[in-house]
């Protein structure tokens, strides 16, 4: 169970780091790309909380949906970096955090199969 709690902590830490970074986006993208990224991460957090508290049979579809959202988030973060809204360092740190969450979700999925 500790690993499942760790992924909730990791997604929360990602939000704490990411939200101030999204505030720095240019006005033209703050309500488009930045909002989409923030919403995606909040959706992932909701899915992880749902998976943590549901029965074993209900966990797998929720975690698979979470895995898909993580992949969508990776592309949004990459686009933001390519548009120069994230520095190389911030992009690297965000990628590491997202990949770590992805590995934890993948391990959780594997344990259910």
The reported pTM is 0.92
Which whole number is the average pLDDT over 41-52? 96
Architecture of domain 2-112: Up-down Bundle (1.20)
Length of the chain: 113
Q: Which phi and psi angles does 83 have, rounded to 5°?
A: -85, 5
| Extended beta strands in the chain, E state | none
| Helix H or strand E segment including 108 | helix 88-112
What the block records as the tokens of 25 is 């986006």
Distance CA 99, CA 14 (A): 11
Domain boundaries of the chain, sorted by first residue: 2-112
Q: What are the tens digits of pLDDT across the range 16-29? A: 999 999 999 999 99
């Amino acid at each position: 169970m500790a690993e499942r709690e760790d992924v909730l902590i990791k997604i929360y830490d990602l939000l704490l780091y990411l939200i101030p970074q999204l505030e720095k986006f240019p006005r033209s993208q703050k309500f488009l790309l930045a909002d989409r990224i923030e919403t995606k991460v909040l959706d992932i957090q909701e899915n992880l909380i749902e998976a943590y508290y549901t029965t074993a049979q209900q966990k797998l579809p929720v975690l698979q949906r979470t895995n898909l959202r993580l992949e969508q988030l990776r592309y949004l973060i990459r686009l933001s970096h390519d548009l120069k809204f994230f520095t190389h360092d911030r992009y690297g740190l965000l990628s590491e955090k997202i990949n770590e969450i992805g590995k934890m979700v993948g391990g959780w999925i594997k344990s259910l199969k």
